[in-house]
Chain A
Amino acid sequence: MLISFIEGFRISLRSKKMITIIYLSILIFGLLAAIPFFGSAKTNFANSLLINDLLKDFDYRAYSDLTHNFKEAIAPFISIIQWFGVGYLFFSLFLSAGILGTFIKNENEYQLKTFLRFSGKYFGRFAKLFLYTFILQLISFAVLTIPFALIITSLVDTVQSESTLVYISLVYIQIFVAVFYLFSLLADYTKIILVKENSNQVLKSMWSSVKFIYRNLKSILLYILTFWFPVSIMLLYLLIEDVIGMTSGFTIVLMIIFQQVFVWFRVLGKVWILASEVSFYDRKSITLLTEKEDEELDEFEDTVTETV
């Protein structure tokens, strides 16, 4: 696993151009929302001296006055964030198809043309995979949450201390995150198989992925720890923002640069994980399906595809 991580990192560093392109796509999406936000804020607030109270430090009174009196101007931007998140989710399928195509089929050399070709080629399969994974995640959410809700509801009337409820909630969150992440891993390895095998059969690839994960469960579970990577660096970011502050023109420019570098490194992190998964798959993959399984899954896939 460690070797795969190192190999993945090596591959990622070679893919700086691709990372930058992905980063730029995120920046462009972001600017599409941020520029109207800037214009709206400039028009609505910028002639009031009140906003200066928000320069040196956070000011609750200024913040609550502005958010209360301009809630109608602010509301569309909250909506924009939500819709951009959903929109980007699908765009990211396009990007991950390009990334994996480049890594697997193009010997890690990045060319925009081939990147886009792979993106286009695998987008449909990845979208189908996303749909299946999303359904599985919804089911697992229900399977985990319903008993949890029942336990909490019954305990609320009997438990002596709220600490019991907090502990149970923490256990639930950990299980939920682990299961959610496991499905993400399942999706990642299915994508790798789809590209490697140039397969059109998503369910079959998912089953292969399940078998692969099961056979390498111990190593792959280590990947779940990578969940803490974005969480940790986000905490690190908040710490740095607190130290630098955004209290003058200079520190604002400094923080803008730092923020964008930070986002670039988060993209690197995403690419790194995908690259190390490809590396791990290369090192560990053997024939995953028996002939019988292969035939059965073909039939099942056809039925599901027709239904969908």
Chain B
Amino acid sequence: MKSKIIPLLLFFISIQIYPQTDKIILSERNAGYNIKVTLDTENKTLTGNEILYWKNITDFPVDELQFHLYLNAFKNTKSTFMKESGMRHRGFGVDVEDSLAWGWIDITSMKTGNEDLTKLIKFIHPDDDNIDDQTVISVPLYKSLEPGETIQVDIDFTAKLPKIMARTGFSDDYYLVGQWFPKIGVFENAGQRRRETAGWNCHQFHSNSEFYADFGVYNVDITVPEKFIVGATGVLQKEIKNRDNTKTLYYRANDVLDFAWTASPLFEVVEDKWKDVNIKVLLQPQHLAQAKRHTSSVKNALEYFEKHLGEFPYPSMTIVDPPFRGLASAGMEYPMFITAGCLWGIPDELKYTEMVTIHEFGHNYFMGILASNEFEEAWLDEGFNTYFENMIMDNYYGEKHSKIDLFGYHAGDEEQSVQGFTSMRNPFVAKINNYSWLYPNGGYGVSSYNKPAIYLSTLANLLGEKTSEKIMHTYFDRWKFKHPCGQDFIDIVNEVVKEDPGFEYGSDMNWYFNQMLNSTNVCDYTVSSISSERQKEDWGLFDKEGGKNFVIKEDNTTYKYETKTIITRLGEIKMPQEILIHFADGEEILEKWDGKSRMKTFTYLRNYPIDRVKIDPENKILFEQKIYNNSLSTKKETVVVWKYAAKFLFWIQNTMLTMFN
């Protein structure tokens, strides 16, 4: 009994060190970390001590612990990460001949109470058979941890940071320290995320995903050379200068699932505030002119998320602007701490800095607060986040102009998400519901970012603003800090649509999600034809008073035309469709079709023929593969052709003149 009480007491004492931030407990907080770490800038190493308080919040006893040792992903060419990525991540490769380029982490000691667990540590490979991968360890316990019990684990570790790769490491005097400490995996309860039996969920470090973890309180003391400027997850509690020209900064973060930090002597610090959220931007000196682009992006995101999803629960947000040679760390998310990315001289009309900042901030909601499992259901993080990024960008910077707006040529963020999917060479390459490392033929990016984002946009278009807002709010309120899975979201959609009296798509939306998540089918409808025939006029002998009367071409028809259009489903995705039929006299009819059969003919008797037809006139279905065939006109729309032929002529003439020798 005693052995259980002492760790619990220690745990509560530890989270009471900085009481001003503990007024509201938002999560289970079953993984608390007290870490002391020192950065050696000469050798690019970290030396740390970690005290982990971990509570078994499941209904089952735990007889082993599993930890992530993610820095070992950068240890050698045999790690799963290196094999999957081909030693190149997002365009940045490993300098294999430089011994400093590699990174690793060693646990030098692991104890619980008086029991030394160090020698029991063994590497495991739950995701593949790669015996050389050292990114996950298993540690058997001498005594099972019963439900509700808390264990204190005392860990000493040493780590060498790699040259920046996959958003972790160092570049000259710039350090982005992520995935750096022994982090416990998630012991999932039976039923949690629909799993049948309880067990560890502790994935190896992969090329495509990084996050799934328990919530907790992090007290992290970081010691760095005195000249360094530091930013980190959480709130700085105090800073002490040490005698050896170093300083120690004490950070605390509540209800988060990870902790990252950065250090550089070159940062320029710009601070701002949105409501109660302190915003800190750590900028490269040459990017100081772009400070506002970062702060305003985060403010816009905070405002939009609060209105359309839920309140930001953390007191601070730190944005890191990596240096040019540290760009491999750009565009990364951690709780209350993100890296953005900008280049000197980028004009305001190219809003990539804004897009990256908003995107990485958004992860705080999906990876951070809802905390879905990115390894197994990346779309719940990347897809939802891209959907919100599109909405925010288009809302604040103009629909169809939000990403690029230069010399009359412009593109919106959502438009580019759509284009990313519909312009794929092979749209059948992968389905959305896939583990993030199981994309043998590629397609992770589009399947996890673009496709789910435009499927969510289409869902919102179909259900209407009010219903889709309610779905998002319900999802967030119900599942924040609770690790939802995809089915949890679908259940909420089905629950909310049933409350909508105007809902017109059957008994639920399962038909939609089955097509969206579990198939590689594409959506492609086309207007196959428009045809009109004059009504048959009366010919021949007709009885009349006093005999038979021969009638020729007597125009006694009620309508002059039988006019019709045929709509064809070319793709395998079946979507309810709206079809706008336009007649030559200006009359318009909006038809509805369930879109299930291969073809549908709409026939009318009218005095004027159909002259144009448009499927999905409001552009609700964003994943339609080809929109040029969604409409048909009986007469050629030559005005636009003239416009582009004239432009073509003009530019070819200018090319020739430029070549004039």
- The interface of chain A, by Cβ under 8 A from chain B, is 26-27, 29-31, 33-34, 37-38, 41-42, 45-52, 54-55, 58-62, 64-66, 68-70, 77, 80-81, 84-86, 88-89, 92-93, 95-96, 130, 156-157, 159-163, 165-166, 184, 187, 230, 234, 238, 241-242, 246, 248-249, 252, 255-256, 259, 262-263, 266-267, 270
Q: What B residues does A47 contact at CB under 8 A?
A: 632-634, 636-637
A26 contacts B325, C-beta separation under 8 Å: no
Interface of A is mostly: helix
Please name the residue on chain A nearest to B285 by beta carbon.
Answer: A161
5 pairs across A/B with beta carbons < 8 Å?
A: A45-B640, A61-B418, A159-B325, A166-B344, A267-B657
Minimum-distance CB pairs A-B, first 9? A49-B631, A46-B636, A60-B411, A34-B649, A88-B656, A38-B645, A163-B344, A162-B324, A92-B660
* Chain A residues whose CB sits within 8 angstroms of the CB of B423 once the complex forms: 64, 68
Tell me which of A46, A54, A89 contacts B638 (CB under 8 A). Answer: A46
Chain B residues with CB below 8 A from A37, complex form: 644-645, 648
Complex Cα distance, B659 from A184, in Å, reads 11
* In the complex, chain A residues whose CB is within 8 Å of the CB of B652: 29-30, 33-34, 80-81, 84
Report if B646 contacts A (CB, 8 A).
yes
Asked if A60 and B400 sit within 8 Å, CB to CB, the answer is: yes
* Minimum CB–CB distance for B604 against chain A, Å: 19
**Stretch of B255-263, B379-387, B621-629 that contacts chain A:** B621-629
Nearest Cβ on chain B to A151's Cβ, whole angstroms: 16
Q: Is B614 an interface residue (CB 8 A)?
A: yes
Q: B250-302: which residues lie under 8 A (CB-CB) from chain A?
A: 266, 284-286
Contacts of B324 in A (CB 8 A): 159-162, 165
Given A34-B645, A52-B637, A84-B652: A266 in contact with B657 (beta carbons within 8 A) = yes
Query: Is the CB–CB distance between A163 and B286 below 8 Å?
Result: yes
Nearest-neighbor residue (CB-CB) of B649 within chain A:
A34
- Which of B643, B647, B659 has the most chain A CB atoms inside 10 A of its CB? B643
B410 on the A face (CB < 8 A): yes
CB 8 Å contact bits of B17-59 with A (1 = contact, 0 = none): 0000000000000000000000000000000000000000000
CB <8 Å contact, B659 and A92: yes
Chain B residue nearest in CB terms to A54: B640
Set of chain B residues within 8 Å of A66, measured between Cβ atoms = 628
- Counting CB contacts under 8 A, is B653 at the interface? yes
Bound Cα distance from A155 to B345, whole angstroms: 18
Known: A46-B637, A166-B345, A259-B653. 6 other contacts (CB 8 A): A45-B637, A51-B640, A96-B661, A161-B284, A246-B646, A270-B660
- Write out the residue numbers on chain A whose beta carbons fall within 8 Å of the beta carbon of B266: 160
For the complex, what is the distance from the CA of A242 to the CA of B410, rounded to whole Å?
Answer: 13
Chain A positions within 8 Å of B658 at CB level: 85, 230
Q: Residue on B with the closest CB to A23?
A: B653
Cα–Cα, bound, A31→B646 (Å): 10
**Which chain A positions have C-beta within 8 A of B630?**
48, 50
A161/B644 in contact, CB under 8 A: no
B303 within 8 A of A: no
Give the shortest distance, in Å, between A182 (CB) and chain B (any CB).
15
Measured in the bound complex, the distance between the Cα atoms of B630 and A92 in whole Å is 46
- A62/B627 in contact, CB under 8 A: yes
Across the interface, name the chain B residue whose C-beta is closest to A37: B648
Contact B632–A48 (Cβ < 8 Å)? yes
Q: Say yes or no: is B415 at the interface (Cβ < 8 Å to chain A).
A: yes
Chain B nearest CB, measured from A169 CB (Å): 11
In the assembled complex, which residues on chain B have CB atoms less than 8 Å from the CB atom of A42?
Answer: 636, 638, 641
Check A238–B643 contact: CB distance below 8 A: no
Please indicate the chain A residues that have their CB under 8 angstroms from the CB of B411 in the complex.
Answer: 60
Question: For the complex, what is the distance from the CA of A50 to the CA of B632, rounded to whole Å?
Answer: 9
Tell me whether A270 and B657 are in contact in the complex, defined as CB-CB below 8 angstroms, given that A38-B641, A159-B324 are known contacts.
yes
Once the chains bind, are A49 and B344 in contact (CB under 8 Å)?
no
- Closest A residue to B344 by CB, please name it: A163
State the Cβ distance, B34 to closest chain A Cβ, in Å: 36
Q: Are B653 and A27 in contact (CB under 8 A)?
A: yes
Nearest-neighbor residue (CB-CB) of B418 within chain A: A61
Residues of B within 8 A of A165 (CB): 324
B127 interface residue (CB < 8 Å to A): no
Q: Which of A69, A92, A162, A266 contacts B628 (CB 8 A)?
A: A69
B172 on the A face (CB < 8 A):
yes
Q: Are A77 and B650 in contact (CB under 8 A)?
A: no
> Across the interface, which residues of A come within 8 angstroms of B647, CB to CB?
246
Minimum C-beta distance from A31 to chain B (A)? 7
| Residues of B contacting A50 in the complex (Cβ-Cβ under 8 angstroms) | 627-628, 630-631
Residues of B near A48 (CB, < 8 A) are 628-633, 637
Bound-state CA distance A157–B172 (Å) is 10
Give Cα A59–Cα B400 distance, bound, in whole angstroms. 8
Q: Are B655 and A85 in contact (CB under 8 A)?
A: yes
Q: Which of B266, B286, B637, B661 has the most CB atoms of chain A within a 10 A radius of its CB?
A: B661
Whether A54 pairs with B643 at a CB distance below 8 angstroms is: yes
Does B552 sit at the interface, judged by CB under 8 A?
Answer: no
Q: Which residues of chain B from 403 to 456 have a CB within 8 Å of any chain A CB?
A: 407-412, 415-416, 418-419, 422-423
B331 close to A (CB within 8 Å):
no
Question: B659: which of A85, A259, A263 is its contact (CB, 8 Å)?
Answer: A85
Q: Roughly how many angstroms separate A242 CA and B405 CA in the complex, as a whole number? A: 13
Cβ of B489 to closest chain A Cβ, rounded Å: 27
A241 to B408, CA, bound (A): 9
User: Would you give the shortest CB distance from A35 to chain B, in whole angstroms?
Assistant: 8
Is the CB–CB distance between B653 and A263 below 8 Å? yes
Residues of chain B within 8 A (CB-CB) of A130 are: 661
Q: In the complex, which residue of chain A has the Cβ closest to the Cβ of B627?
A: A65
Known contacts A58-B409, A60-B412, A88-B660; is A49 also within 8 Å of B612 by CB?
yes
Complex contacts, A29 vs chain B, CB 8 Å: 652-653, 656
In the bound assembly, the distance between CA atoms of A259 and B651 in angstroms comes to: 9
- B641, A238: Cβ atoms closer than 8 Å: no
Q: Closest Cβ of chain B: how far from A17's Cβ, in Å?
A: 18
CB-based contact A26/B655 at 8 Å: no
Measured CA separation A163–B110 after assembly (Å) = 47
Tell yes or no: B7 within 8 A of A by CB: no
User: Which of B266, B409, B628, B659 has the most C-beta atoms of chain A within 10 angstroms of its own C-beta?
Assistant: B628
Contacts of B409 in A (CB 8 A): 58
Q: Which residues of B contact A238 (CB under 8 A)?
A: 407-408
Taking the complex as formed, is B639 at the interface, i.e. its CB lies under 8 A from any CB of chain A?
Answer: yes
A131 to chain B, nearest CB (A): 11
